[in-house]
């Protein structure tokens, strides 16, 4: 039996005259809304988790969640690095359609400069018409939406997206009975933790880890792999705390819980690579009442499907602008994807454009600059002992052909892999005569996708910025217009796809405007849109 979760107009807010009349309210005769929790692991591939068959490290909390949920065998990120991937997750759109395909565009913590070495300042791409952070729709429905601590959407977030976003976020801050969507992001397994925790305790002996064929077998490689397993143990402990709190609050059984990685693993040839190691992610969904618990699902599911799927589970019809489909819920798509698509562009200070399409059996990768190796000299990654070790062994000629392939230049213009026979993607079949029809088919599929989704990767980043940023600045939204009517105060913005938010002067949380405001309150309001500066704040009434 699903626990009822209705929006309750908070008595304290009513007593303080906060204008709660404008809050979305779920009527008592409507279906109760499910609570939804995301548990997000940074930089991890399925191959190291027990639910995918690895026995190296026990992860009891994830194993328990997997037993209660469905394990997805073919879940994918459109990009093999975090900020482009997260832009896709939060919008239901491909990074290449949004203009968020470069890593990274929006980086305000770098004192106004994203990558000074290439002259690219921090900026927010102006996304296509109608694109919003999907949590806006949840908040309008009445959900309490909390996220943290990581955002990193490759654009400046909108105030309408979250009730709170930060390290201290929690569903326990919502109003009594209010449904919630809460994201917990775990950075303990991030790429940087391979070198930052390199001297910490290991929970698995290096001699017990498995070495994939594209890595040499030596102490450095084994140690870094053991560090990652140890970080997964730390992840499992942290994640277990959240699951324990859900159970303490009587919410675990009836909640929908997603666990997934934000892209492939933290190592060379994993993160930033369009191979399965960079794009394939672990994903478990525990449905309410543990429906389908213990099952495996081999459907293709991409991050562009996450936003429409969550909306569908909350009985919200996904907006037509989203490129993903609802995989479950009230608006589940009858036709499921038969391909996933992937992109790779700038990584920090280094450019290299690649595109890929993955079908049920084959993977096709196209490189637009064959002069560069796959192993780009990204200075951030060069801190990793394993990366430095691979560079040294390659220079000394001590890697075998399989191990050296990723570091060699030139690289092939086209790569075709039979994933059923070659899961490590070691044998490029693009020149096989008997597979030319397959190669041509995948070429066509990729070309059609690039055209249909308006892939912006063929336009230089500086040229894109000139179009998006008049005079080098984010465009600004026009001032709001106000109209007083008998039923209350209406607010308008000439930019029709902008979101209008409002709050009372003493409030810290912006509320999404969706119906007339009462005339007897004081409030501030503004318009916002991804890629634009907010409109000037409109002030109404007085204290």
Token pair, residue 205, equals: 């002996």
Token pair, residue 17, equals: 């005259």
- What is the distance between the alpha carbons of residues 234 and 196, in angstroms, rounded to a whole number? 14
Token pair, residue 27, equals: 């009527």
- What is the distance between the alpha carbons of residues 488 and 482, in angstroms, rounded to a whole number? 11
Q: What is the DSSP secondary structure assignment for residue 536, as one 8-state letter?
A: P
- What is the distance between the alpha carbons of residues 59 and 57, in angstroms, rounded to a whole number? 6
Of 414, 406, 451, nearest to 436 by C-alpha is 414
- What is the distance between the alpha carbons of residues 365 and 356, in angstroms, rounded to a whole number? 4
- What is the distance between the alpha carbons of residues 428 and 412, in angstroms, rounded to a whole number? 9
**Sequential DSSP letters for 421-435:** T-TT--S--TT-GGG
- 479 with 525: CB under 8 angstroms? no
**In the Cβ-directed half-sphere of 350, how many Cα atoms lie within 13 Å?**
17
- 320 with 94: CB under 8 angstroms? no
- Residue 341's alpha-carbon distances to 207, 304, 381, in angstroms, are 37, 10, 25
- What is the distance between the alpha carbons of residues 506 and 541, in angstroms, rounded to a whole number? 13
Q: What's the farthest any 2 CA atoms get from each other in the chain?
A: 81
- What is the distance between the alpha carbons of residues 12 and 19, in angstroms, rounded to a whole number? 11
The SS3 of residue 463 is helix
Token pair, residue 262, equals: 């934000």
Pairing of strands 354-358, 144-148: unpaired
Q: What is the DSSP secondary structure assignment for residue 244, as one 8-state letter?
A: H
Q: Please identify which of the residues 18, 82, 189, 493 carries the catalytic annotation.
A: 82
Concerning whether 189 is annotated as a catalytic residue, the answer is no
- What is the distance between the alpha carbons of residues 285 and 538, in angstroms, rounded to a whole number? 43
**Sequential DSSP letters for 159-219:** TTS-SEESTT--GGGSPTT--EEEEEEE-TTSTHHHHHTTTSPPSS-GGGS---TTS--SH
Residue tagged 């064929």 (tokens): 213
Tell me the H-state helices in 288-435: 306-313, 385-395, 401-404
Pairing of strands 120-121, 340-344: unpaired
- What is the distance between the alpha carbons of residues 75 and 503, in angstroms, rounded to a whole number? 39
- What is the distance between the alpha carbons of residues 385 and 378, in angstroms, rounded to a whole number? 14
Q: Which residues are catalytic?
A: 82
């Amino acid at each position: 039996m699903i626990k009822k979760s209705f929006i309750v107009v908070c008595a304290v807010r009513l007593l303080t005259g906060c204008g709660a009349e404008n809050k979305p309210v779920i009527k008592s005769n409507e279906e109760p809304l499910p609570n939804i929790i995301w548990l997000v692991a940074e930089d991890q591939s399925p191959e190291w988790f027990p639910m995918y068959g690895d026995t190296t490290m026990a992860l009891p909390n994830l194993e328990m969640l997997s037993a209660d949920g469905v394990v997805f065998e073919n879940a994918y990120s459109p990009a093999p690095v975090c900020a482009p991937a997260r832009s896709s997750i939060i919008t239901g759109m491909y990074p290449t359609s949004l203009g968020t395909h470069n890593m990274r565009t929006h980086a305000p913590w770098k004192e106004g400069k994203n990558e000074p070495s290439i002259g690219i300042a921090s900026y927010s791409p102006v996304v296509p018409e109608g694109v919003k952070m999907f949590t806006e729709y949840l908040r309008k429905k009445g959900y309490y939406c909390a996220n943290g601590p990581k955002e990193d959407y490759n654009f400046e977030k909108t105030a309408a997206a979250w009730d709170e976003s930060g390290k201290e976020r929690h569903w326990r801050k919502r109003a009594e009975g209010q449904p919630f969507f809460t994201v917990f992001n775990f950075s303990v397994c991030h790429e940087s933790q391979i070198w930052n925790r390199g001297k910490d305790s290991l929970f698995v002996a290096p001699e017990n880890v498995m070495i994939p064929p594209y890595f040499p077998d030596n102490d450095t490689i084994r140690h870094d792999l053991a560090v990652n397993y140890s970080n997964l143990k730390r992840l499992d402990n942290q994640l277990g705390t959240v699951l324990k709190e859900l159970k303490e609050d009587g919410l675990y059984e009836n909640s929908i819980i997603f666990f997934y990685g934000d892209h492939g693993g933290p190592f060379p040839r994993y993160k930033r690579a369009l191979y399965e190691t960079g794009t394939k992610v672990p994903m478990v969904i525990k449905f309410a009442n543990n429906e389908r618990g213990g099952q495996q699902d081999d459907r293709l599911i991409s991050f562009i499907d996450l936003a429409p799927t969550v909306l569908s589970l909350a009985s919200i019809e996904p907006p037509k602008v989203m490129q993903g489909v609802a995989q479950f819920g009230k608006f589940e798509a009858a036709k499921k994807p038969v391909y996933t698509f992937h992109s790779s562009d700038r990584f920090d200070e280094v450019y290299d454009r690649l595109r890929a399409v993955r079908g049920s059996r084959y993977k096709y990768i196209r490189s637009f600059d064959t002069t560069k190796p796959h192993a780009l000299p990204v200075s951030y990654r060069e801190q990793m002992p394993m990366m430095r070790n691979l560079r040294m062994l390659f220079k000394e000629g001590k890697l075998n052909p399989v191990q050296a392939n990723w570091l060699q230049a030139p690289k092939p213009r086209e790569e075709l892999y039979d994933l059923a026979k070659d899961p490590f993607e070691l044998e490029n079949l693009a020149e096989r005569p008997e597979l030319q029809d397959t190669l041509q088919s995948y070429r066509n599929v990729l070309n059609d996708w690039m055209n249909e989704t308006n892939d912006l990767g063929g336009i230089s980043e500086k040229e894109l910025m000139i179009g998006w940023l008049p005079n080098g600045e984010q465009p600004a939204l026009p001032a709001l217009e106000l109209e007083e009517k008998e039923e209350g105060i209406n607010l308008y913005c000439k930019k029709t796809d902008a979101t209008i938010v409002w709050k009372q002067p003493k409030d810290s949380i912006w509320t999404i405007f969706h119906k007339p405001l009462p005339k007897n309150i004081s409030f501030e309001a503004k318009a916002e849109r991804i890629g634009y500066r907010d409109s000037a704040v409109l002030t109404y009434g007085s204290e």
